């Protein structure tokens, strides 16, 4: 009897830990070509949102493929996050812009917010991650 209770307890603990630390599956759409990489970053606070170098809890890249691709993140605790994605066509690890500051490479955000004169706010991109979460993010190109 005690053995059965121990098995039940450890099964519950394992299920709880697994569901709280799971991945996010991103489907990135509207990729215009197969040049470079699709890069993503996941943020849990507003302070570093949209940084490409620091402040994210997970980041990565995959080879670009025209059309759409799927990306599975590392294990991430349940919580609230904002995700940014960009198509780094020339593989220089930054979003290139023209002389007016308009991006010349594609980009996207969780919740696919409507953009007006600049990047979205952190709270516009905020999603709640519970267990295994699936999101669609559409890449937008201005030029």
Output the pTM of the full model.
0.83
Q: Which fold has domain 2-138?
A: Immunoglobulin-like (2.60.40)
More reliable by pLDDT, 120 or 2: 120
CA-to-CA distance for 62 and 73, rounded, in angstroms? Answer: 11
Where does the pLDDT of residue 20 fall: very low under 50, low under 70, confident under 90, or very high at 90 and above?
A: low
3-class secondary structure, 35: coil
Percent pLDDT > 70 in the chain is 85
Q: Is the pLDDT of residue 18 over 50?
A: no
Spell out the residues 6+ positions from residue 84 whose beta carbon is closer than 8 angstroms to its own.
40, 41, 43, 49, 50, 107, 108, 109, 110, 125
User: Which letter does DSSP use for residue 33 in this model?
Assistant: -
pLDDT confidence of residue 11: 40
Per-domain residue ranges of the chain: 2-138
Q: Would you state the pLDDT for residue 4? A: 41
Query: Residue 30: exposed, middle, or buried by beta-carbon count in 10 A (0-12, 13-18, 19+)?
Result: middle
């Amino acid at each position: 009897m005690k053995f059965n209770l121990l098995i039940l307890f450890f099964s519950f603990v394992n299920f709880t830990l697994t569901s709280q630390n799971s991945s996010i599956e991103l489907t990135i759409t509207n990729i215009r070509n197969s040049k470079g990489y699709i890069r993503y970053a996941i943020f849990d606070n507003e302070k570093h949102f949209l940084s490409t170098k620091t402040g994210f809890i997970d980041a990565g890249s995959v080879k670009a493929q025209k059309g759409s691709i799927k990306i599975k993140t590392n294990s991430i605790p349940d919580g609230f996050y904002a995700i940014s994605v960009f198509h780094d066509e020339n593989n220089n690890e930054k979003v290139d812009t023209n002389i007016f500051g308009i991006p010349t490479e594609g980009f996207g955000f969780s919740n696919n917010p409507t953009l007006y004169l600049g990047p979205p706010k952190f709270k516009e991109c905020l999603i709640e991650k519970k267990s295994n979460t699936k999101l669609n993010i559409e890449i937008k190109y201005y030029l």
